[in-house]
Structure 1
Amino acid sequence: MLYQAAYAAEVSLFMTHKDDSYNHVLKYTGLLGGVQVFYVLMSIIRNKFTALFIGTWGMGLADLYNRTAELIGNTTNFGIAFSAVRHLAELQERGEQKALTLYVKLIRTWTLLTALLGAVTCLILSPWLSHLTLGDYHTAKGYALLSPMVAMTTLLGGEAAILKGMHRLRRMAAVSALGALLTMAVTIPLYWWLGVHGVIPVLLSTTTVVFLLNLHAATRDFPYRVGLFSKRLLSRGMHMLKLGSAYIAAGILGSGAEMGVRSFMVRTSSLAEAGLYTAGFTLIVSYARLVFVAMDADYFPRLSAAGDDVERRNFAINRQIDVLVLLMAPFLILFTLCLPLIIRLLYTPEFLHAVPMALCAAGCMFFKSVYAPISYLSLARGDSFVYLVMELLYDVVFVAAVIAGFYYGGLWGAGLGLSLANLFDLIAIFTVYSWRYGFKMERTTLRRCVLQFGLLLVGLFAAAQPIWGAKVALGGVVFTVSAGLSWDLLRRETSIAARWTALRQRFLNKK
């Protein structure tokens, strides 16, 4: 009876914070998402000049280099940047400063070792990578020069993990904003000066800038220390490698899948066509990702803290889905309606061929906003096998769907394949995680998802209309309804309406 009373009191206390949960999710989505908006604005300017100076061919080459470096980094970093966050957050919660200092030293030691491994691997494999991706050895030197980028990306992941584990979200936001500004300031002059030959210098210099910013932010709490020759310290890091093994395997599979799709496009079509796919992918996927920025930094630690409490886990997941869907649906509707204008603004008219692909791919981000919060369950539970199997399943379907779509339909087929692959992932994750972890989607959450998806389909139909009048009229109505439903939930479940009223009143009083 005493246990039941204590449990009931705990549930009651938890439920009293039900409204605060929406506020919490929205707060950190807003903080990091707001920074991402600034990042996107900087990217818009950067991509505009990049398109002008190096064209579709150059953008295709830059993306291929990026994906290859990402694949090598994911293959050699052992997932330390992800696996370290969980234990850091636990030590921070308990206030064990001495253990924290030692664990940070452990993280930096292992990230330095894996960074060196990544650089050497990239250097050795550069001729093979050139032949694999482009069918010749002309870019072998370029791949070899990516070695420092691979190393710094791994080191950057370690410093970012420290900031996440210590919950330094505001500092992370500041670093992200400054990094976006400096990246733009470096990229534009180099591409103007060197053209396509500036791809490697741009990748190296921008990675260096972002790494140094994260290093500076993390060393404010913990001065940089490593123990490369400490057997005790090295042996204690084995648990990180074990925990991160599934994450790293999933990263390898994901990067390999992306690289495989782009290599197929280059070999069967052209590098310019791959550049158009990259532009469409960037427009829909990369810019829409700003909605997900709080997932790793805030949501994952909260879900992990729920432990074996199924009710608390389901509550957190449903709230996260609600917020992601209510932000994603209106964003996608408005974004797709304005795509032709956005492409002219961000790129050049030759990139307008990416519009059909982007429209067909829009569904993938909506599906992701539903299944992403659920997919974190396996990581929060430390169930690496399930996580790896689900990632492998998605990657196989992704490659098959996108390649088949591109083969039979060109760019728009690739976009449709991307959406269908994510729909499959949603169904698979929902089915498996409901059975294994007891996940249940609330009826209200399900209704919101279905309603907003229906509105998104109508919005995409409007965006595909060739007549501007019909597009604006129908699309405007659909966007208004979608945004109105989202605002209604925010108004009822959070304090955003009260804050907006107070802000408006303060402004009026000043006048």
Structure 2
Amino acid sequence: MMDKEDSYKQIAKSTGVVGGTQILNILIGIVRMKVLAILLGPSGVGIAGIFQTIVDLVKDATGFGINFSGVKKIAEVSESRDPKKISRNIKVLRRWALGTGLFGTFIIIGFSQYFSIFSFGNSDYTRSIIFLSIIVFTSTISASQIALLQGLRKISEMAKANLFGTIAGTVVSLPLYWWFGNKGIVPGMVLTSICAMCVSWIFSRKIKIQHVDLTISQSFKDGLGMAKLGFFIVVNGFVATLSMYIIRKIIISHLSLTSVGFFQAVWTISTVYINVLLHAMLADYFPRLTMLQNDNQASNKLINQQLEVTLLIGTPMLIGMIVMAPIGLNILYSASFDVAVPILRWQMAGSFFTLLSWPLGVLYLSKNEGWYCVISESLRQLFYISFVYFAWKYFGFNSLGIGFLLAGVVNVIFVYFSLKKISGFKFSLINIKFIIIFGTAVISILSLCLLFNGWLTYLFSFGVVLLFTIFCFKKLDQLIGIKQIIVNKFSLKNN
């Protein structure tokens, strides 16, 4: 077993590799979002958001969560060092991805008219939604290939596949938005998905596997284990995606498609930036936690270590985004999106509670306690939808952000007490201190930015961001020697 210092370094290494490429993905995404906002406007962004929600809804409902359960299965069999066993499970994963991808394709084609009527109030978008079926298939195949790389802990290859897929998709899709405007949304999304699939295939095909005789029926039986665990992932993802679908319907019922575009912009920013950490965390953290699933003491220790690093890296980022929300929306989209600034600030503050719950919630799946995962997400989304629905007359558009934060608090409470029951989990003393200090800072900066405006507010807020960044950097240096890592990195480049 790793000692404490090595464990922190492993966390930092995987976070650095995946997080670094995710940052590049974000920079590329900034260009893409900016072009979309300028060329398509808020309504075009809203249409693209609804299309993506439909894709996610069908993919989650028909994918059986194999992109996630596959990671767990591959990670488990890789520990056996048995090439035949590993090859067999890789083949099963690939066949299930092909089958579920085709299943999702047929579903979205069959229900395309219903999706159009329910989403837009008419059947005008039926043909466009039919073409979205291509994305369901290609993204399912791509996700399984990324899952294979992650399960085998080929973190660098996985990160490169995600990065190059994003670059290729951006290069081929942006001209379509330029030439065709809103009519280029679906072709652009399709080409982006195809590029991601091709790039992930290039990296995953390098994995050498032995020949294994495996019939279709055997593949189905062997894959049922993944599907059983994946069932919880399916329900979980479906609940989250359905929630966003309902939220967008609520916005349209009160306001317009343009307002959906404002919400889409906020949701994209808040989820994209937080996913830098979450994806970096899951890349190596989930396989490692899976290997410790039968050792509560070791798994709880790893959870606290991961949470500590996540808070130190994520908190300054969240505080900075709360302060810079107006600038961020202007840079990433346009001045017309300024109405969404308060919502973005509420959601970035709410993301602090996502940072708390994610390292803990991964234990559900590593211990095959998927029902807790479903209950946790259902509770969070039910609270969120209910708050937005009933509080709209009091808070209007801002209820979207307030509800997100409060739902995050509810989720953290449930996750903590359920993990205490499952594995006897307790926050470490240092994490309790960080949660109190960082949580107070996030809420204080949020309140300051919402209640006051002007250069003095920005000056003070930037000062707080700077102080927390320095503090977190020093703490990370104590844990993993981050200064020396940076010095060594530049020394190697100069030599």
Contact 2:384-2:407 at 8 Å conserved across structures: yes
AA in 2 matched with 1:56: P
**Aligned mates of 2:354, 2:393 — CA distance in 1:** 24
| Structure-2 change in CA distance of 1:225 and 1:218 (3 Å) | farther
Spell out the pairing of 1:145-184 with structure 2 (5 A cutoff).
145-184=131-170
Superposed CA deviations along residues 285-317 of structure 1, whole A, max 9, x for unmatched, are 222221111233211111111122222111111
| Structure-2 change in CA distance of 1:468 and 1:100 (3 Å) | same
**1:108 corresponds to 2:105:** no
Superposed CA deviations along residues 336-378 of structure 1, whole A, max 9, x for unmatched, are 2222222222111101111111011122210011111111111
1:86 Cα deviation from its structure 2 partner: 1.5
**Aligned mates of 1:285, 1:234 — CA distance in 2:** 34
| Structure-2 change in CA distance of 1:106 and 1:503 (3 Å) | closer
Q: 1:484 aligns with which of 449, 470, 491?
A: 470
Which 4+ runs in 1 deviate beyond 4 A? 222-229, 501-507
AA in 2 matched with 1:252: F
**Aligned mates of 2:312, 2:193 — CA distance in 1:** 33
**Aligned mates of 2:454, 2:302 — CA distance in 1:** 42
**1:301 corresponds to 2:301:** no
Describe the SS at the equivalent of 2:79: helix
Q: Determine the structure 2 residue equivalent to 1:10.
A: none
1:280 Cα deviation from its structure 2 partner: 1.2
**Aligned mates of 1:79, 1:281 — CA distance in 2:** 23
Count the aligned residue pairs: 495
Spell out the pairing of 1:6-405 with structure 2 (5 A cutoff).
17-222=3-208, 230-405=216-391
Using structure 2 for the length normalisation, give the TM-score.
0.95
**Aligned mates of 1:284, 1:245 — CA distance in 2:** 27
Structure exhibiting the larger radius of gyration computed from Cα positions: 1
Describe the SS at the equivalent of 1:410: helix
Contact 2:109-2:133 at 8 Å conserved across structures: yes
AA in 1 matched with 2:142: L
Q: Give the alignment's Cα RMSD to 1 decimal.
A: 2.1
1:502 Cα deviation from its structure 2 partner: 4.7
Q: Determine the structure 2 residue equivalent to 1:449.
A: 435
Contact 2:314-2:355 at 8 Å conserved across structures: yes
| Structure-2 change in CA distance of 1:424 and 1:190 (3 Å) | same
**Aligned mates of 1:291, 1:238 — CA distance in 2:** 31
AA in 1 matched with 2:117: H
AA in 2 matched with 1:320: Q
**Aligned mates of 2:368, 2:125 — CA distance in 1:** 40
AA in 2 matched with 1:416: I
Contact 2:76-2:290 at 8 Å conserved across structures: no
| Structure-2 change in CA distance of 1:70 and 1:407 (3 Å) | farther
**Aligned mates of 2:215, 2:60 — CA distance in 1:** 25
AA in 2 matched with 1:22: Y
Q: Determine the structure 2 residue equivalent to 1:9.
A: none
1:330 Cα deviation from its structure 2 partner: 0.7
| Structure-2 change in CA distance of 1:217 and 1:136 (3 Å) | same
| Structure-2 change in CA distance of 1:344 and 1:389 (3 Å) | closer
| Percent of aligned pairs sharing the same letter | 25
**Aligned mates of 1:251, 1:90 — CA distance in 2:** 23
Contact 1:288-1:365 at 8 Å conserved across structures: yes
AA in 1 matched with 2:46: G
Contact 2:87-2:210 at 8 Å conserved across structures: no
Contact 1:465-1:471 at 8 Å conserved across structures: no
1:23 Cα deviation from its structure 2 partner: 1.5
Contact 1:88-1:103 at 8 Å conserved across structures: yes
| Structure-2 change in CA distance of 1:363 and 1:304 (3 Å) | same
**Aligned mates of 2:105, 2:340 — CA distance in 1:** 34
**Aligned mates of 1:152, 1:370 — CA distance in 2:** 33
Structure 2: 5+ residue runs without aligned partners? none
**Aligned mates of 2:477, 2:341 — CA distance in 1:** 34
Contact 1:134-1:266 at 8 Å conserved across structures: no
1:459 Cα deviation from its structure 2 partner: 2.3
| Structure-2 change in CA distance of 1:25 and 1:186 (3 Å) | same
AA in 1 matched with 2:283: A
**Aligned mates of 1:95, 1:250 — CA distance in 2:** 32
Structure 1: 5+ residue runs without aligned partners? 1-12
Superposed CA deviations along residues 429-475 of structure 1, whole A, max 9, x for unmatched, are 11121123210101211111110111122322343465432123211
Describe the SS at the equivalent of 1:280: helix
Superposed CA deviations along residues 393-412 of structure 1, whole A, max 9, x for unmatched, are 22211221233444532332
Superposed CA deviations along residues 107-138 of structure 1, whole A, max 9, x for unmatched, are 11111111111000000001111111122111
Describe the SS at the equivalent of 1:95: coil
**Aligned mates of 1:224, 1:92 — CA distance in 2:** 14
Contact 2:87-2:211 at 8 Å conserved across structures: no
Describe the SS at the equivalent of 2:101: helix
Contact 2:322-2:349 at 8 Å conserved across structures: no
Q: Which is further off, 270-279 or 308-317? A: 308-317
**Aligned mates of 1:406, 1:97 — CA distance in 2:** 57
**Aligned mates of 1:254, 1:126 — CA distance in 2:** 21
1:26 Cα deviation from its structure 2 partner: 1.4
**Aligned mates of 2:156, 2:213 — CA distance in 1:** 29
Contact 1:105-1:224 at 8 Å conserved across structures: no
Q: 1:431 aligns with which of 417, 429, 432?
A: 417
Contact 1:356-1:411 at 8 Å conserved across structures: no
Contact 2:116-2:129 at 8 Å conserved across structures: yes
**Aligned mates of 2:214, 2:177 — CA distance in 1:** 39
**Aligned mates of 2:491, 2:93 — CA distance in 1:** 49
**Aligned mates of 1:504, 1:25 — CA distance in 2:** 21
Contact 1:227-1:233 at 8 Å conserved across structures: no
Contact 2:34-2:333 at 8 Å conserved across structures: yes
**Aligned mates of 2:275, 2:185 — CA distance in 1:** 24
Describe the SS at the equivalent of 1:440: coil
| Structure-2 change in CA distance of 1:506 and 1:301 (3 Å) | closer
Contact 2:315-2:438 at 8 Å conserved across structures: yes
